[in-house]
Amino acid sequence: MERRDFLKMSAAMSAAAAVTGCSSESAKTTPPPVLPVEEKLNWSACLVNCGSNCPVKVYSRDGIITRIESEFTTTDEYGNHDVRACLRGRSLRKRVYAPDRLKYPMRRVGPRGSGQFERISWDEALDLVAEKLQATIDNYGNESIHFTYNSGARYHFSGKQCLYRLMNLKGGYLNAYGDYSWSQIYEAAGQTYGSAGPGWQGSSVSEMQNSDLVLMVGYNPSEIRMSGSGEAYDFLMQKRQKQFKTIIIDPRYTDSAVGKEDQWIAIRPGTDAALFEALAFEWITNNRVNQAFLDKYCVGYDEKTMPAGVGYEESYKSYILDNATVGDLTPGANAKTPAWAAAITGIEEHIIVELARELADAKAPFIQIAASLNRQAAGENNTRAGYMLPILLGQLGLPGTNSGGLCKGSYLTAPFMPTGSNPVKKAISFFTFTQAIEDGENMTVLADGVQGVDLDENGDGKLGTNIKAIINYGGNALINQHADVNKTTKIIADESKCEFILVVDNWMTPSAKFADILLPDVSWLESEDLIYQSYSAGDTATLVQMSSSVGPMFECRPIYEVCVDLAKRMGVEAEFTEGKSREDWLNQFYAEAQAATPDLPEKEVMLKQGIHRKYLPNGSYIVLEEFRKDPDANPLGTPSGKIEIYSSRLAEKARTWKLKEGDVITALPKYIPTWEGYEDTETKKSYPLQLFGYHTKGRAHSSYHNVPWLREAVQDAVWINPIDANKRGLQSGDKVHVFNDRGTIEVEVKVTPRIMVGVVALGQGAWYQGGSVDRGGCVNVLTTHRTTAITKGNPQHTNLVEIRKV
């Protein structure tokens, strides 16, 4: 029993004795019966950014959470199965009552980043926020206000949408495009398929039942999609039922492989495109490509499918063969042979040849290219090169096939708070906000990917403003999840650059320590909302009706109420509320959800049953099925309306953009050796190990790191192969320093054959502690601010390091 519960029960017993008139002596001998306070049950959800938004049962007594359970209400037969939360969702009670929980509005009193704050009233805090935001608008313009990327609280009603709505009513803010997860995928899919959809979200997991071979490149659902209605469970059940062959390509032998794979192929990080090109070589030279598909649906494969004015020598076929002669299959000196790829990827030549044969022989190969490939220095090209596998085989738009994208989840509709439109049209890449703080006024279209600005006669244009104020709601990318954290903290700490930082959060995260004003939000378990399971929910669509009997706690307030008060101070209250109360908005949203899903019960019923779900409500989805059936009636969003292997838009960027030394933009998907990649022999003289971060079961990005249970369950240790460990005198459990020119972190080491030689891996998201050696183990101490060539996105899996024993 919690101490607080015990004290309340003791007080109740004393009160009962007083009411009955018993003397203290008689009370000792014959205490009156005390009826236990019955637990209340409310349904809520884990709104962390893994994409599942799993429902949880929240039991409370007298306003105190007593336990958290997942959902156990069905016979649990697949297709009507329990929607179970993973170990993170089940630990929510510990997270809500974490010692670093933010309880009151606070103002910074020490240097920015010191974590020194004083408690202030809500009125004082909101007066200061309104004053600072208005002053920034007046002095620098709306485009000097920026929201850093945030995804730690995925509400529909009272979340970040409220702050976007408020700022749009006040003239807007500097936009950002892309995000840390998918930036390069959006670009790769858009250039290839005409929109982000087919590359970001491919066929349903259920289509695996129609496949005889599932290839997962860098994809690890058993650690990042763990919920009972998520992709990991769907994949496992499909595998059990259909026994299709599963090949996993990854530098690390992940939990998705253990006991579920038929073959694990270890590959050096950042070299996947070289493997894909070697597979293409095998198919082209052995006449295994689907020529009819390429002729009808694609642009850029050979002399018959090139855009007007572009010769065969610039075609994909010519590039792979290194032969500019039409009809000649004789490889040139730089042909992309399996032997060439073996030297780069670390995969033996015969394995590449056999993989090519198996994929070509498969009746319906289901091919997934994970998001991990896009978070590399040439992430756009790695991903585009991966899409070539189903394209060359013509295995697209058919049962059991996939575009290379991650699986499309099923979902039911639940409205979001409308944000309105942003009057500011200027936009930067999400990953360049620190650059925009220091030198935004000189950032340009051709050098930095700035969008929405007026162009000069050279087709270039400047952003023309620096970021002067930052709003960070429910996000840790201000510091922890951004790159080169030591450099980032110096930029953010300088008050002469960014003059005001507002952070709204639940816990004292590394980012929260850099706030000027820190506002305490309610936690998920203190909130009412109707939410749907998001992008990785798998094949079960779920609506969850969140409610609460335990909050708001302390002086925490929902951000909707905070924004109403800010809107009042900033003169836009009527426009913000539209004359509606909080209850009015929630009832409106529920009515809209019922209109979209007619069998959704009344709200009173949903408050009791918590969830409404359907397995594959719209049937199994096959990506690009309509395009395959009739490409003329269903053209893609590319300029040609077809799949573009050769991108004229990228050819134009390659011709006009101003690139850093070592950056390359190509019209074709090509393997590009990169800085701090396997072939960067100069840097490897000092830092010989390739390091990448991965998602652990104990965190979703950096969320849940402050729950000790989870840190006990999942070790934060850098993985290293025994051969590399022996060279450095390391044993499992040793404390080591992992370092490069950007910084040093201290963590434990895990010596294991489950990672290939020359490669090390560390779970990302651990909280930065600072100092000359970060003992928090934050991998982003070691990553770089340098952007990818095309999207100006994050290359946070491309790093070279060394390791030594402490």
Query: What is the 3-class SS of 91-153, one letter each residue?
Result: CHHHHHCCCCECCCCEEECCCCCCCCEEECCHHHHHHHHHHHHHHHHHHHCHHHEEECCCCCC
pLDDT tier at 533 (50, 70, 90 boundaries)?
confident
Q: Which residues touch 464 (CB under 8 Å, ≥6 apart)?
A: 143, 426, 440, 441, 453
What Rg, from alpha-carbon coordinates, does the chain have?
28
The answer to whether the Cα torsion of 389, 390, 393, 394 is positive or negative is negative
pLDDT tier at 5 (50, 70, 90 boundaries)?
very low
pLDDT tier at 27 (50, 70, 90 boundaries)?
very low
Alpha-helix runs per DSSP H in 243-345: 272-285, 291-297, 316-321, 338-345
Answer whether residue 484 shows pLDDT above 80: yes
Bridge partners for 740 per DSSP: 743
Among the listed residues 406, 404, 364, 355, the one whose alpha carbon sits nearest the alpha carbon of residue 244: 364
Amino acid at 658: K
**536, 406 Cβ separation under 8 angstroms:** yes
pLDDT score for 783: 98
Q: What is the phi/psi pair of residue 581, to 5°? A: -85, 170
Task: Find the Cα–Cα–Cα–Cα dihedral 135, 137, 139, 141, rounded to 10°.
Answer: 170
- Tokens 């690890």: give the residue: 220
Cα separation, 72 vs 91, whole angstroms: 17
pLDDT tier at 74 (50, 70, 90 boundaries)?
confident
**Segment among 270-279, 317-326, 404-413, 724-733 with least mean pLDDT:** 404-413
Output the CA–CA distances (angstroms, integers) from residue 688 to 3, 760, 799, 802, in the order listed.
53, 10, 10, 6
Cα separation, 299 vs 288, whole angstroms: 19
Give mean pLDDT, residues 347-368.
98
Count of beta carbons in the 10 Å neighbourhood of residue 163 = 25
Cα separation, 372 vs 219, whole angstroms: 8
Output the CA–CA distances (angstroms, integers) from residue 501 to 159, 194, 492, 560, in the order listed.
18, 38, 9, 19
pLDDT score for 733: 97
Give mean pLDDT, residues 37-61.
92
Answer whether residue 35 shows pLDDT above 90: no
pLDDT tier at 84 (50, 70, 90 boundaries)?
confident
Q: What is the phi/psi pair of residue 703, to 5°? A: -70, 140
pLDDT score for 9: 36
Query: What is the 3-class SS of 694-709, one letter each residue?
Result: ECCCCCECCECCCCHH
pLDDT score for 535: 75
**201, 623 Cβ separation under 8 angstroms:** yes
Mean pLDDT of the residues in the chain: 93
pLDDT score for 414: 95
pLDDT tier at 83 (50, 70, 90 boundaries)?
confident
pLDDT tier at 582 (50, 70, 90 boundaries)?
very high
Q: 3-class DSSP state for residue 239?
A: helix
pLDDT score for 13: 33
The domain spans of the chain are 1-36, 106-174+424-521+556-578, 681-805
Give mean pLDDT, residues 269-279.
98
Per-residue tokens: 316: 């994909």
Q: Which residues touch 566 (CB under 8 Å, ≥6 apart)?
A: 126, 129, 130, 166
Per-residue tokens: 609: 């049953």
pLDDT score for 28: 47
% of the chain residues with pLDDT over 90: 87
Give mean pLDDT, residues 469-494.
98
Cα separation, 462 vs 64, whole angstroms: 54
First-to-last CA distance in the chain? 42
Answer whether residue 345 shows pLDDT above 60: yes
Cα separation, 647 vs 300, whole angstroms: 8
Give mean pLDDT, residues 581-592.
97
Which one-letter DSSP state was computed for residue 195?
S
What dotted CATH number matches 681-805? 2.40.40.20
Strands 540-546 and 529-532 turn out to be antiparallel
**383, 390 Cβ separation under 8 angstroms:** no
- Tokens 């209250």: give the residue: 573
- What's the half-sphere exposure (Cβ side, CA atoms, 13 Å) at 529? 29
CATH T-level fold of 106-174+424-521+556-578: Rossmann fold (3.40.50)
Question: CB-based burial of residue 378 (10 Å sphere; 0-12 exposed, 13-18 middle, 19+ buried)?
Answer: buried
**218, 370 Cβ separation under 8 angstroms:** yes
Higher pLDDT, 228 or 588: 588
Give mean pLDDT, residues 223-243.
88
**31, 13 Cβ separation under 8 angstroms:** yes
Cα separation, 231 vs 159, whole angstroms: 26
Higher pLDDT, 343 or 229: 343
Cα separation, 114 vs 122, whole angstroms: 22
pLDDT score for 34: 63
Largest CA distance in the chain: 107
Among the listed residues 431, 450, 430, the one whose alpha carbon sits nearest the alpha carbon of residue 440: 450
pLDDT score for 15: 35
pLDDT score for 228: 74
Per-residue tokens: 586: 């929630």
pLDDT score for 22: 36
Give mean pLDDT, residues 630-634.
97
**Segment among 16-20, 436-440, 455-459, 606-610 with least mean pLDDT:** 16-20
pLDDT score for 71: 75
